[in-house]
Structure 1
Amino acid sequence: MSLALNVHTCPGVYAVLLGAGISMASGIKTGWGIVQDLVSKVAVLHDPDTPDVGAEAAADPEGWWQDQFGEELGYSRLLAGAAPTSAARQGLLAGYFEPENAEDTGKEPTAAHRAIARLVKRGNIRVILTTNFDRLMERALEEIGISPHVVRDHMIDSMKPLVHSQITIIKLHGDYADLEQRNTVDELEEYPSAQQALLERVLDEYGLIVCGWSADWDKALVKAVEGTRSRRYPMYWGQFGRMSEPAQRLVTQHSAAVIDGVTADDLFTDLEHRVEALDRMTVAPVARDTAVAQLKRFLPDPVRRIEIRDLIEQSVSLIVSSVGQDRYPLTGNVFAQSIGRYRADCDTLLHLLANGVFHDDGTYNDLWQRVIERLNRLRHKNINSHTEELERLRHYPAVLAVFTMGIAAVIGQREQFLARLLSQPVWTPIFSNGERQVPAVYLNPRRIISGSINEVCSPGDGRTWYYPQSRWLREELREPFRVVEPDDEAFRAAFHRFEFLASLMSVDTEHILASPWSGEFFGEDVWGCDQNGLAPEIEREISDLWPLLLAGAFNHDAERAKKAFSELVDFRSRNHPW
């Protein structure tokens, strides 16, 4: 928590120090692992008839090299011995760091690399120190359109100043394509003076987030961190497994906060998630509240129709542009992360819809409906490999929008709008036989929000809500209505009434997938009995003059509405949990 707060409060002040541990999940060997492998291969070539010579050489690369060649093992010597030409060396090293073919899913940026890249894009991280030879960090940044300024020791004199670069990656031990890498014990003893000066400057002027670095072999780097006397900003040390003695010494010296028992992926994805949450509390409401104030000012003025449309369309466009494989993966254990991000990305739009539909007199009904039409397209965006629950969740922004507009219509006493909201626009699933569905069917929360919602919405003690989708949506949508409906009980009543009416319209369609929007309105305290409660209230309202009928719902047929009501009663009796 302290780390996220400091990174958020002081953007650009914390540098990241990455060791081999961050790349392990990608399948790339550590630098020392590559030395062992190369020495093993040289040993086999040097003495092909001796059994186990490769394993013996890998166990003590420096000793074997000294015994065989009478000289200390150096990385450049090792490469020259393994591959005598520049092209051969490039090909040899590429095999350790690059995918072998298009089907090779390894050697890709990890979740940690991608989370750091997104923190860079947000402006939270501007300097990365790394002991790694690979280019996974560079690739993660390039995937989201950022060209990093990469610095190795021979570039330092001409490098762009740190303050003038969006992100600087300082490769302390070189790049795999360089001959002059630092990879053996002797090579890691001391840095060139220019690199040492740059490193000392970063360590002095920036806070430090250490991850994936054991501190066992990199003696020059350990000495540089030890030599940093002042700590202007705190040091954080992510650790998974046993901490080495040099690392313990550095942690003690600098009173570093140890984040123990977390992988690099967990550390940085959690950090990004927490920084996002802090952003929602600070920056977003300012822009959001300004947009809502503009909308309220424009609504009564017929001359401002274009401005109103632009305001809503721009808010939708921000959501549409944010949805992609990078921010919203369609595979993996990311349900909780994705559903939280969707809500954050939709925040401004939901506030606009709550206020807009409530204050509108029907003039902009086509605009409100276009919101759903555009959000529906997210379900067809960049669909390749996917899990069903994450592909369906692409409709979650549309669910949030339709609930917000439906609740606003109920509070604003313009329920006739629901006849249109829940019947248009039709949508055709991409993985289907082309059968068209109406919003009352395809935006049913139980079809969009999977059972994984219990991971993020539960009463605790191992229990679950009977209607978790309903409970989750009611809690997530309370904030946009704070001004429109300050009273919590009145908001709750409007929420349940909308769910009830949407359920009636869903079962009326007689579509094969039609079912009630099962929600907490089924509970005894809301549904009611005799003449009291929501169900008796709506039953009394159904007549030829019911606003929903007059607006076209149930094909203007009161008997058809009563039939839908009876089906809902039967559904409740069959599925009554109490």
Structure 2
Amino acid sequence: MGAGVPAAWQIQERLLTRIAAASGEQPDDVFVWWKNRTGRDAEYDELLHAAAPTPLGRKDLLREFFEPTDGEREAGLKVPSAAHRAIAQMMAEGLVRIVVTLNFDLLIETALRDLGIEPTVVSTAADAAGMEPLHAQRHLIWHLHGDYTNPEMLNTPDELRTYPAHIGLRLDEVFDQYGLLVVGWSARWDSALIAALARCSSRRYPTFWLDRFPLNGDAAKLAKARDATVVIKDAGEWLPMVTEACGAIKHLETDPLTTAGAIATVKRDLSFGRIPVGAHDLLLKEVQRIRELQAFSTNEDIWRSLSYHDRIPAIEDELELWAALIATLAYWGNARTDDWWISSAAHLADVPTFAGSSDANNALKVPAIFALYAGGVAAVAAGRWTTVVRLLTDIPVLNPFSGQRSPAAALYKPDDVYPHTRWPSRALFGLLRPVLSDAAGLGVLVEEAWEQFEYLSYALDLARHTEAKAVPFPYVRVDDDRTDSGREVVPVVSAAVRSRSALLDELNAHVDNNRYANFAAALDAADARIGAAVEDAERRSIPMGRAVRLPGGRRFAPIAGESQ
């Protein structure tokens, strides 16, 4: 399983080299030399028996092939591979309890011990006779043919032709009462094991057969007889993926509604390169669940029965999974998954406007605003700029000012749902930051991505603004750009956004040319407005009649509660 332990043919080659050297010869091709000498192709068992006639001699001979030197250990050779560690992890999690191995090495035991688990190891016929019942085993490693530390290793065809009766009975129990995962077994040499597997007629649990190459011969016959699912993959790649997938499923089975469990499953589906059908279905379920919330009801009688102050928190409390799911798909997904979550957001953005309180009407925008910001910030963090542009310019909703449809990103703003908070965008950031950072896994990327999304959204609103709705200032940090002509306050993220020429070109198509020639000009206007507003706000904060030094360095602009 890719651990640097030599394969049988490599051991053959070394054994043949030794046999030839003992005869005083150094052939270029030891395999041809052996066939010319004996008239037969070299067979592993025959060579091993010739080089070391006794079991103890074979043990000593094989030691060098399985125990790493210091140099080999540092190079990662003859140590547990990704496949060994995946099997050990499955045993640690209770997914696998019994390993029957034909290998002489102790790599699975080493991988288990690295996890702090001491396995039960069975290496001899006597061990097998005295071991506990299989149903009582938790971490059993059964070396069916022995291991290299034990002189009772089974190597030759005679030794592999039959097993003691009590071992045959235990094998019958394994094959009858447990599911089976076969990893890289050729079913060529092990006559007794082939017979044991063939005589098991029950199919209580499924069989999976993993190999790097298509099965043939007895292996193909056995797999067909057991109705096995054959997987042609590398064990070092496939087994770790299976381990992760099983862990995610187990997490969901423990609490299928937890955000962490659902997001773990979605990430694994995406990482496997397959269509994440589960994520699609979960999105639809979330849309339906949110639609059925009393606080989100679009029934006018129910809408009028709830106060604005009760409605907002009640909706917010139900949106963690919704926001985390969208952020995960926006960060890790593709154009197909973008279609799913953007259309889901559009469905929740399509809400009526009732006569009465604008605050109560705006409360119905909360799920869509969460989706816009969770998806937008995550897409920025991933550098998925086409998705960012789509989110800022798509999702048409009815514009109550013009009677036409406008992009939701132009009309659904944090100040709509937090109008009585001095920092509406900061309030939303406080709610979404744990979801984006922890649940969706964006970590430290969240803050800068948030600012870039806010800054882009603000500049685009200026570039296309034709409605009566004011353009709220973004929640961004500013810094001082000092030149010979004086101090200029600019958004910290301005330079990073301007460096993306392809993004600016894509946004040019959405600029009202009666206002600005292109999106770069809109960014110039955004910088100028933000800088002027910051300087004005900071000067107004200085007490009359006192000489106070103006703020400097990177800081959040004290203008988020104002609009222009």
State the partner residue of 2:459. 567
State the partner residue of 1:46. 22
1:39-118 aligned within 5 A: 39-52=15-28, 54-56=30-32, 73=46, 75=48, 78-79=51-52, 89=61, 92-94=64-66, 100-118=71-89
- The DSSP-based 3-state class of the residue aligned with 1:36 is helix
The one of 363, 368, 371 equivalent to 1:493 is 368
Contact 2:84–2:107 under 8 Å retained in 1 = yes
Q: Which amino acid aligns with 1:173?
A: H
Distance in 2, Cα, partners of 1:81 & 1:490: 81
1:249-264 aligned within 5 A: 249-252=221-224, 254-264=225-235
The one of 236, 259, 271 equivalent to 1:336 is 271
- The DSSP-based 3-state class of the residue aligned with 2:121 is strand
- The DSSP-based 3-state class of the residue aligned with 2:86 is helix
Tell me: CA distance 1:41–1:497, structure 2 relative to 1, closer, same or farther (3 Å): closer
Larger radius of gyration: 2
State the partner residue of 2:108. 137
Q: Which amino acid aligns with 1:104?
A: A
Question: 1:158: Cα distance to partner?
Answer: 2.8
Question: 1:163: Cα distance to partner?
Answer: 2.2
The one of 207, 232, 243 equivalent to 1:235 is 207
Contact 1:240–1:261 under 8 Å retained in 2 = yes
The one of 156, 159, 162 equivalent to 1:184 is 156
Contact 1:238–1:259 under 8 Å retained in 2 = yes
Question: 1:499: Cα distance to partner?
Answer: 4.9
State the partner residue of 1:36. 12
Contact 1:127–1:167 under 8 Å retained in 2 = yes
Tell me: CA distance 1:414–1:34, structure 2 relative to 1, closer, same or farther (3 Å): closer
State the partner residue of 2:544. none
State the partner residue of 2:388. 518
Between Structure 1 and Structure 2, how many residues are aligned? 389
The one of 133, 137, 158 equivalent to 1:161 is 133
State the partner residue of 2:423. 549
Distance in 2, Cα, partners of 1:472 & 1:111: 40
Q: Which amino acid aligns with 1:201?
A: E
State the partner residue of 1:222. 194
Contact 1:76–1:181 under 8 Å retained in 2 = no
Q: Which amino acid aligns with 1:549?
A: W
Question: 1:575: Cα distance to partner?
Answer: 3.6
TM-score, normalised to structure 2, is: 0.52
State the partner residue of 2:254. 283
Tell me: CA distance 1:285–1:261, structure 2 relative to 1, closer, same or farther (3 Å): closer
Tell me: CA distance 1:246–1:99, structure 2 relative to 1, closer, same or farther (3 Å): farther
Contact 1:42–1:82 under 8 Å retained in 2 = no
- The DSSP-based 3-state class of the residue aligned with 1:150 is strand
- 1:373-427: per-residue Cα shift (whole Å, max 9, x none)? xxxxxxxxxxxxxxxxxxxxxxxxxxxxxxxxxxx99942899xxxxxxxxxxxx
Question: 1:166: Cα distance to partner?
Answer: 1.2
Tell me: CA distance 1:472–1:543, structure 2 relative to 1, closer, same or farther (3 Å): closer
State the partner residue of 1:412. 313
Task: Give unmatched runs, 5+ long, in structure 1.
Answer: 1-22, 289-314, 323-327, 359-407, 416-442, 478-488, 507-512, 555-561
- 1:459-494: per-residue Cα shift (whole Å, max 9, x none)? 2xxxx849x9x859979x9xxxxxxxxxxx966513
Tell me: CA distance 1:210–1:474, structure 2 relative to 1, closer, same or farther (3 Å): farther
Q: Which amino acid aligns with 1:412?
A: P
TM-score, normalised to structure 1, is: 0.51
State the partner residue of 2:302. none
Of structures 1 and 2, the one scoring higher in RCO (CA 8 A, sep 6+) is 1
Contact 1:43–1:57 under 8 Å retained in 2 = no
Distance in 2, Cα, partners of 1:409 & 1:501: 27
- The DSSP-based 3-state class of the residue aligned with 1:128 is strand
Question: 1:171: Cα distance to partner?
Answer: 0.7
State the partner residue of 2:4. 27
Tell me: CA distance 1:549–1:100, structure 2 relative to 1, closer, same or farther (3 Å): closer
Distance in 2, Cα, partners of 1:201 & 1:544: 66
The one of 147, 151, 174 equivalent to 2:118 is 147
- The DSSP-based 3-state class of the residue aligned with 1:204 is helix
Tell me: CA distance 1:62–1:238, structure 2 relative to 1, closer, same or farther (3 Å): farther
Contact 1:38–1:78 under 8 Å retained in 2 = no
Distance in 1, Cα, partners of 2:194 & 2:425: 74
Contact 2:104–2:143 under 8 Å retained in 1 = yes
Q: Which amino acid aligns with 2:313?
A: G
- The DSSP-based 3-state class of the residue aligned with 1:26 is coil
